[in-house]
Structure 1
């Protein structure tokens, strides 16, 4: 009997000691999940770095602003499996976490920011590859480890809905924390949202009629504010103190990695022909001279010769740790898009010439270069019957990620972008990049199905909106 009583006493003590154990050992002042303000800085910083790397190492090559004097397989289109944009799914995962937490906290501004960043990120992925996982992407916690691929038309339908929703959600009267792009200014995020909306609508304008939505955005500035000056540019500025330094700047990348790309004849000659002072801002002359000479795109290595006989990227951007910024979208690009939209009668507001003039002037101001007084009247006046709009837009998109290549895929302009004499792609400029080899292995069934619908995993296969 004594043993039974002792057992009961011990049992009761054991239960009382563990009762409420989980609550007692939980620090209510320490959150168990990251908050949006904690996640957002890392997302913006990594997207900025990704954008700079893809701009200087890929976008500048395929849009023919420059060419590699070594390891130039990219220049001659000898392309293989490529994960450079597929890796952005990592940041998309973090963006989804921001959105999830924002919804739980009922914080509409963070939710809106996540939708804008999601749209920006996913548009780059699908514009580069074509079909891509989206509706089932980043759902490993739900057991979806092999996501299906969505068509680009399906993806764009959702991306445009994202931007509509983000614009509606944003409360411009309140600020957010952790915003390294706009310092928490939600009006600027709203302008970025709607300017990005214009970019994506124009991207698909050869496939579907976007006139109604474009006119709606342009004609209602109170409801759909757009960039109004360079102060609104979606442009990440590095502080210059490690680690907040661009991937192409001194201290992270050697000068060799910066100068391996030689300015192209397309860039140098266009600037020289126009007596364009952006030449001195962007490009250094041949070492020991005042002469400028660009590299013809698409040459083989033996045709290039010594790199010292060519002009160079302006080294000031390498040594000055704050000169390279990460350009997502600019006021200049927006106005070029509106000029084209007006020229094609997609919008009725304003005039193509006014939008064009504003775009060119904004580009000069963006680079802190004084525009010659006769530039818009004599040198490069607006014309609806020439390529001047697209050539000036190409100049203005310098170092803006891969936007110039994507815009060329849509328009075919400027027409001087063409395969070089050393091209291994039958004289064609690529229209997409190939899926990563790992994806073809771990998600083979869905990848194979996407390739069947697209035609093949070929760099010449056009994405859905690519229609020139």
Structure 2
């Protein structure tokens, strides 16, 4: 009996220890510094959503799309930037990662009845899904962000049509406008500490929502002109219900206020020991010449003057190639000996851009640096401010008064009722751009030039909008697709003879979600320039420009 009792006691002790250890292990696996999804403050995630969204928009407009739209060219490792050699490498996974985090904030806000957070996340949702469909075309939308449900539809979502996505986000932005209509003090929550765009101001978020609606209505103006006209006129007819961004103080921007690599201006030299990323990005000749002809002072804000201008002088002795008084003097026979034609170099004394899509961009304009180290002293480098990790002008610009006024100028040009003339909005747009770049005092002289005065054409309007989209070139690309302006020509060594109009669907999506990807690709319009790739080409037209004859 004693032995039996000892056995029972032993088993009880063992079970007690086992359960106790399990509890201890479970407790040990709880991160005391982590946030539980069931109880997390939405602001902990919202700040990441906003910063990642801001960086994504900036990287689009400051990197390869700036190459497509001929704001910049690279003179080293230039294939994707100068020649559109994307090789199906552009992935939307980062966009959907932002949207998943954004959805978490929205869902928590619904649970907590936080209308301010709901409105803000709907604005971000509209902007990010808008970018996805702008860049790729049809995409997962209505069934996206539901992977946790584990259903086949959630795991392998269908691709909504581009029209469905545009209409959907316009509806969500309308809901955001309503949710953001209260004074700041009326909300039961605050985003002040997390909001890197507006410091927690719901009125500015509301203006962003309605300004994005203007953007997307104009995006649809060729395909659904009546729908776009009604949408824009409704907003302009009732500014009390639909406030929009009209001054630079309301611009949706994100500053870079720290010196950490993750939250500073991209490709700056503080975290790049040999400054190679900064050095390889140079001004493009197309933008430089468009600005030089109009004596545009913004060029000096964005670019450095050429360090050593070229001077070809037939009166010089044969074989002359000398740097003197800060200039490089050459006799014509030196060019001939190098098989370089006079028209293939630039003798601009102030700013020199690299022509788009040329071979040997690293040695353009007789650069002595032929090894892609990008130390060319005979072309203009970006302004020194772009070496820095932050600064007053170094901002991600998501949507601005400049863009909004150009949209309204275009709407007025179409004859739509927007409360002003095309010329008035055109001038306001340029004034806003000059204010943005810190040279507002020079705008009147600029506008008085005959070459700048509004001539009533869409061509001039879109060219000025293109110039003003510096560091935000993605919007210029989307405008170019639907209008054909500015009239850009692909360079001689680009992989197609015209500019691309979309991103390829990436290989991983086609492998994982093959049937839905295939269906979406079949809805693209193949062109003479996409035949080599098949339907999934950067030169196949998405719905928004199908049948428009634009841009080529």
TM, length-normalised to structure 1 = 0.91
Match of 2:256 in 1: 238
Q: Deviations over 1:63-113 (max 9, x none)?
A: 111111122222223332023444211111101111111111111110111
Contact 1:59–1:404, Cα closer than 8 Å, also in 2: no
Deviation of 1:54 after TM superposition, in Å, equals 2.0
Match of 1:225 in 2: 243
Q: 1:29 to 1:105 in 2, by over 3 A?
A: farther
Match of 1:155 in 2: 165
Match of 2:430 in 1: 360
Q: Secondary structure at the match of 1:131?
A: coil
Match of 1:424 in 2: 495
Q: Distance in 2 between matches of 1:446 and 1:84?
A: 17
Q: Secondary structure at the match of 1:156?
A: helix
Deviation of 1:407 after TM superposition, in Å, equals 1.1
Match of 1:297 in 2: 356
- 2:415 maps to 1:335: no
**Unaligned 5+ runs, structure 1:** none
Q: 1:277 to 1:262 in 2, by over 3 A?
A: same
RMSD: 2.8
Q: Deviations over 1:108-131 (max 9, x none)?
A: 110111111011111111111111
Which structure carries more relative contact order (alpha carbon 8 Å, separation 6+)?
1
Contact 2:308–2:377, Cα closer than 8 Å, also in 1: no
Match of 1:266 in 2: 286
Match of 1:374 in 2: 445
Contact 2:133–2:162, Cα closer than 8 Å, also in 1: yes
Q: 1:304 to 1:460 in 2, by over 3 A?
A: farther
Q: Distance in 2 between matches of 1:237 and 1:28?
A: 32
List aligned pairs for 1:316-465, cutoff 5 A.
Answer: 316-319=385-388, 321-322=390-391, 323-369=393-439, 370-379=441-450, 380-385=452-457, 387-415=459-487, 417-425=488-496, 427-455=497-525, 456-465=535-544
Match of 1:68 in 2: 74
Q: Distance in 2 between matches of 1:159 and 1:304?
A: 46
Match of 1:206 in 2: 222
Deviation of 1:464 after TM superposition, in Å, equals 1.6
Q: Distance in 1 between matches of 2:108 and 2:361?
A: 55
Q: 1:432 to 1:30 in 2, by over 3 A?
A: closer
Q: Distance in 1 between matches of 2:360 and 2:98?
A: 36
Q: Distance in 2 between matches of 1:355 and 1:265?
A: 28
Match of 2:125 in 1: 118
Q: Secondary structure at the match of 2:544?
A: coil
Q: Which has the larger radius of gyration?
A: 2
Contact 1:283–1:311, Cα closer than 8 Å, also in 2: yes
- 2:75 maps to 1:88: no
Contact 2:88–2:506, Cα closer than 8 Å, also in 1: yes
Contact 2:256–2:389, Cα closer than 8 Å, also in 1: no
